[in-house]
Structure 1
Amino acid sequence: MEMFINGAWTASVTGATQPVTDPRSGAQFDTVPQGNAQDADLAIRSAAAAFELWRKTPMADRVRLQKKLAQAMRDAGQTIGTALHRELGRPLPACLQEVNRAADLLDIYAEEGLRLHAAMTSGGPGEKTVVTRDPVGVVVAITPFNYPLNLLMFKLGAALVAGCTVVAKPSADTPTSTLLLAELFHKAGLPKGVFNVVTGAGRAIGEALVNHPVPRKIAFTGGTTAGKAIAAAAVQTMKRVTLELGGQSAAIVCADADIDKAAEAIARHGFANSGQFCYRVNRIYVERPVYEAFLEKLLARVRQFTLAPAGGEGDLGPLVNEKIYANSAVQVDDARAKGARILCGGQRQTGPGFDGGFYYQPTLVADASHEMLVLTEETFGPVLGICPVDDPWQGLKFANDNRYGLAGFVFTRDLARGLTLCEGMEAGSVWLNDIQRSSHYEPFGGVKESGLGREKGRYGVESYLEYKTMYLSYEVPR
């Protein structure tokens, strides 16, 4: 495949390419361009030219087209979902679900666009003040591998309805689904240059996009180290940034909790997408009176998960590459060496259908402590660390004693205790007594080193708008 710039498939200026591989087998199935600064400039100039017309498109027309794009995604769901399945390795039903959720977010952002309005106040006879919100301009959207379509829509859906144009750079591991989406949207009526996709691995093209003088906003989802570098670079040209970064999210299970429900919710959430998402449960603090009982319930649930081999079916796919795999392997080995109990898993899955991919068994690390990486660093894999605590307040102290603050989870039958713990969690989102998907209507983002800004709902759209104040004077007829 090639890059998609100004409504057309485009090779890199140098002609260089990089492989795209199936993480289930390790086999190459496609190539994409290895873009550089010249390719980034071409895409940005295209987006800048398109912005002059797109920003003037009436909101009703942008909304109408965005809803058409959402339906086009659903109609092409099988094609796009299959591409995602191949590049990510996640079981196909979950990939199809991602396509539909991403389309839903396009619709929701479109509806929020219709609610935008200007404000007018009177300063006295012959004086009015009008406050409008204008699109920020060209946006650079940099997305990770784990939910490439949904996380792209966090940014693209809000930017488009706000009147911005976009240059997207998907992960080098999962570029094909984003490229297919760009072509689909163009065929559905999105004007050329409004949505461009460049590809490339390494820092070169990313730095070219971030440092380019034309874009006015960078929207990034990814690791905290990269996010800090983007923020530092963006300030040189005073670009706005939205950064959704790492997480090491904690769950607190109180002695009075429904431990069956807690175990089910934590297992379902903690191992979704093989643990490869930022706001998953990573560590669990359990009051001692129910600690062993909870471990038993959680272990029984986790043992039900199956791994999907290449060409086969199952609940969990492989990890996307060797680097991501290493996070789990290193953290489990570290915990084992420091005295933790490995209740299940703890090693690579091998055998027919597994040897070609980076499959790590679903793993529970009991008796974890804060000397272990599993309780202090993001895992991004199918591993949960569990630690006993004397009371929920000790659990809250441990939960907050971390540089991340993306999500938190509390389980207790005492509503007053639960609300107090939720309010005490230093996190952007907190769940009480169950774990649902984050709502497309509500703000999503983190505190501390988990990021800056919020996405989704009206909050997401507002982050792509600038306020403008106009002071009007006129002669009052007598």
Structure 2
Amino acid sequence: MLKVDSLVNLNELKLYINGEWKDAQSGEKFKVTNPSNGEVVAQVPKGGRIETREAIEAAGEAFKSWSKLTAAERGKFLLKICDLMHEYKDKLAEIMSMEMGKPFTEAQGEVFFAASYLEWFAEEGRRIYGETIPASAPDKRLAVIRQPIGVVAAITPWNFPLAMMTRKIGPAMAAGCTGIIKPAKQSPISALAFSKLVEMAGVPNGVVNVVTGDTGQISDEIFENRIVKKISFTGSTEVGKILVSKSAPQLKRLSLELGGHAPFIVFEDADLEEAAAGAVASKFRNTGQTCVCANRIYVQRSVMERFTALFVEKTKALKVGNSLDPCSEVGPLVSQDGIEKVEEHVQDAIAKGAQLLCGGKRLEGELSQGLFYEPTILGDVTNDMRITNEETFGPVAPIIPFDTEEEVIQFANDTIYGLAAYLYTQNASRLVRVSEALEFGIIGLNDAIPTVAQAPFGGIKESGMGREGGHQGIKDYLEEKYLSMKIQIH
């Protein structure tokens, strides 16, 4: 095992507030457990309202000077953190693997992915342009300037603990904002390790603060404190709706990246080898615990048998194992609730007539102490099954046949979600037709992993609002101010 102690001491984890490492005032802590074996990884300070208020006030004070720096000056700090993430990639990956079960090699990839957002927004901050507007009178000059919104809060999920954090705090810092990070209870150590890199990079005190602990108390203070001007949240649609209500009293600006139920469509003219490999990559990445993973695999009936054989073969070849094993491709689920939901979806489908093509049970033997579930494929799946309507968030792939293009578009769009969709075909006209007809914010065309820092990420319908990444990702951290100036004409 690698040693993370040179980055963070797992026996002495503390909150990061105003450039200082602090315990929760109550002295309380909560346990973080390794889902691969059930062992306690660390005990983390259980902060609440008091610590959150202190962090917000520190961010408010830091905003006065941070917002006055040039975009180039702020960008240098982001690039320094980016470099440190590369330097400490193995330690950061080990932390993720231990706290939430991401396979180590995949976790290394997330470190680079997370760092790419800092690199992108370090440069994008230089492109916060204003505009001039033709005036309707000769003695007027009209302009629009864009300024940082102020103190922001980033509420991040456990499934991509580093990437979702940099995708929020990166554009915030680049825009001139300061803020507080509230990580998920399953993966708080990654956020504390990131704040150590912030400290090492010399970022001024108060610009970035990390508070772990009581979700309710921290959230209440964030939404009620008038210093906080904008909140970015990644999580479930159910919680997102609650946060919309909580933001109403002060009309706080919200960015919400919520749940998904992605269709993965394979047409009869697709490269089936490529499509099957793409389905495996999309479905079983992070053990199926991604909001953009393939949830419903629609295959045109004429190629159903050939595609299924390839998909089953590739799925059976996946290596399931302890997340710290560099050879593991599929790790454990993050929680007992998560694995129970997977079991419920599989049992419901089989009870309603689905065929188990591979997998279908928890792992036994040496991995029985962890939350491992076999990569599973279900055939003969119908639209009345829970798995075709609810987000499974686990390593289970349902295959559903279709006959026509019009039919599969109707199937795909029949959901409250609208985050990601995928389609495989060699017909260029069909690529255009179907991608324009699908009601999703992100569409992979013969591409199972479309997310990159330079492109916008976000959904439509009940999958959220706002965009992260791309040049769009910095806009939610800016206010537009219109200037109308009357001058003397000689």
Q: What's the TM-score once normalised by structure 2's chain length? A: 0.95
| Contact 1:252–1:396 (Cα < 8 Å) also in 2 | no
Q: CA deviation at 1:201?
A: 4.3
Residues 311/269 of structure 1: CA separation in 2 closer, same or farther (3 Å cut): closer
Q: CA deviation at 1:205?
A: 2.1
**Partner residue in 2 for 1:18:** 30
**Partner residue in 1 for 2:133:** 121
Q: 1:2-41 counterparts in 2 under 5 A?
A: 2-41=14-53
**Partner residue in 2 for 1:327:** 341
Q: Specify the code of the residue in structure 2 equivalent to 1:461.
A: I
Q: Specify the code of the residue in structure 2 equivalent to 1:139.
A: V
Deviations 1:321-346, CA, capped at 9 Å, x for gaps: 11221221111111011110010111
| Contact 1:341–1:365 (Cα < 8 Å) also in 2 | yes
Which of 58, 61, 68 in structure 1 is aligned with 2:80? Answer: 68
Deviations 1:338-365, CA, capped at 9 Å, x for gaps: 110010111111211x122110100001
Q: CA deviation at 1:310?
A: 6.6
Structure 1 gap segments, 5+ residues each: none
| Contact 1:5–1:198 (Cα < 8 Å) also in 2 | yes
SS at match of 1:204: helix
SS at match of 2:398: strand
Q: Specify the code of the residue in structure 2 equivalent to 1:345.
A: G
Residues 326/195 of structure 1: CA separation in 2 closer, same or farther (3 Å cut): same
**Partner residue in 2 for 1:418:** 431
Residue 280 in structure 1 maps to residue 275 in structure 2: no
Q: CA deviation at 1:76?
A: 1.9
Q: CA deviation at 1:474?
A: 2.2
**Partner residue in 2 for 1:112:** 124
| Contact 1:249–1:280 (Cα < 8 Å) also in 2 | yes
Q: CA deviation at 1:121?
A: 3.2
**Partner residue in 2 for 1:155:** 168
Q: Tell me how far apart the structure 2 counterparts of residues 210 and 26 of structure 1 sit (CA, whole Å).
A: 34
Q: Tell me how far apart the structure 2 counterparts of residues 224 and 122 of structure 1 sit (CA, whole Å).
A: 43
Deviations 1:125-178, CA, capped at 9 Å, x for gaps: 332112101111111100111111001111011000001111001111111111
Q: 1:37-436 counterparts in 2 under 5 A?
A: 37-123=49-135, 124-309=137-322, 312=325, 313-352=327-366, 354-436=367-449
SS at match of 1:277: coil
| Contact 1:7–1:183 (Cα < 8 Å) also in 2 | no
SS at match of 1:242: strand
Q: Tell me how far apart the structure 2 counterparts of residues 375 and 210 of structure 1 sit (CA, whole Å).
A: 35
| Contact 1:219–1:241 (Cα < 8 Å) also in 2 | yes
SS at match of 1:148: coil
Q: Specify the code of the residue in structure 1 equivalent to 2:329.
A: D
**Partner residue in 1 for 2:5:** none
Q: Tell me how far apart the structure 2 counterparts of residues 349 and 65 of structure 1 sit (CA, whole Å).
A: 45
Q: CA deviation at 1:207?
A: 2.6
Q: Specify the code of the residue in structure 1 equivalent to 2:90.
A: Q
Q: Specify the code of the residue in structure 2 equivalent to 1:38.
A: I
Q: Specify the code of the residue in structure 2 equivalent to 1:357.
A: G
Query: Identity rate of aligned residues, in percent?
Result: 37
Q: CA deviation at 1:436?
A: 2.8
Q: CA deviation at 1:311?
A: 6.0
Deviations 1:290-314, CA, capped at 9 Å, x for gaps: 1122111110110110111376442
Q: CA deviation at 1:225?
A: 0.6
Tell me how large the CA RMSD over aligned residues is: 1.3
Q: Tell me how far apart the structure 2 counterparts of residues 311 and 196 of structure 1 sit (CA, whole Å).
A: 29
| Contact 1:72–1:185 (Cα < 8 Å) also in 2 | no
Deviations 1:364-398, CA, capped at 9 Å, x for gaps: 01111111111111011101111111222211101
Q: Size of the alignment, in residue pairs?
A: 476
| Contact 2:104–2:324 (Cα < 8 Å) also in 1 | no
